[in-house]
Chains A and B, each alone.
Chain A
């Protein structure tokens, strides 16, 4: 590689260009190797889905009873759960669905990326990780069944 000198003491520019091309090929090869070897993603999506489901339960259940006002039309689930609406709705990385049944469905909250419902329990690295919870609230006056589906798909940047 490099400067093949001709008999008159000159070097061909083609050789320098070839050396440059060779360097680029070596560079790309080493980079691919390093990225394949060192790229790791710490996956906390399942944990995030668990935390999200816990937050939802705490937001709608109080001392084993349905929190006051949950069945009202103007009940703000984000305020009650402490979740950030901007991150949950706009990022497209989260999803939750809360259904409250009293025999039939009486209230439903659904926010975030609704595609998750279809992809939730499919096996793929790209699909979201989800958790399902089912609660039964029973008292002298009322019985409620609550179904919660929470999903997260924030993987972050790959290193």
Chain B
């Protein structure tokens, strides 16, 4: 081997490894923004937050999640697609791998929520904040 070169096999191996890493990084970086899931996560998180903001204590809302479930299934995601965090006033929608999309609501209601996977419905019940008890959320 001369001073300026490496053996052909080492060079080819390095090149192939770099190329595989490059393709993997490119795919993982482009797959999420390039899918419909990211936009749907955002749209649904904002829609749910707006429904929560608009609702009054005593109300109950049912949101059709058929499209969200179908998209999650398409993306091989079997986890919880919607989470509502009463403590931090946050809605999280996740239709694919990753952290999902967070959006904050500004009302002080206590929300008891249930994601019915069979009926593909998200049921939200709104209560006065002062009757807040922990661990009543379900999903």
Contacts and interface: CB of A to CB of B under 8 A. Distances in A.
Contacts of A91: 104
Contacts of A83: 106-108
Contacts of A2: 15
Most chain A CB neighbours (cut-off 10 Å) among B4, B8, B53, B109: B53
B76 interface: no
Interface of A: 2-3, 5-6, 8-16, 19-20, 23, 26-27, 30-31, 34-35, 38-42, 44, 47-48, 51-52, 54-55, 78, 82-88, 91, 93-94, 154, 156-157, 159
19 contacts: A3-B12, A10-B6, A12-B11, A13-B6, A13-B11, A16-B11, A16-B18, A23-B19, A27-B26, A27-B29, A34-B29, A47-B50, A48-B50, A52-B53, A84-B105, A93-B104, A156-B103, A157-B42, A159-B38
Interface of B: 1-2, 4-8, 11-12, 14-15, 18-19, 22, 25-26, 29-30, 33-34, 38-39, 41-43, 45-46, 49-50, 53-54, 56-57, 89, 101-109, 129
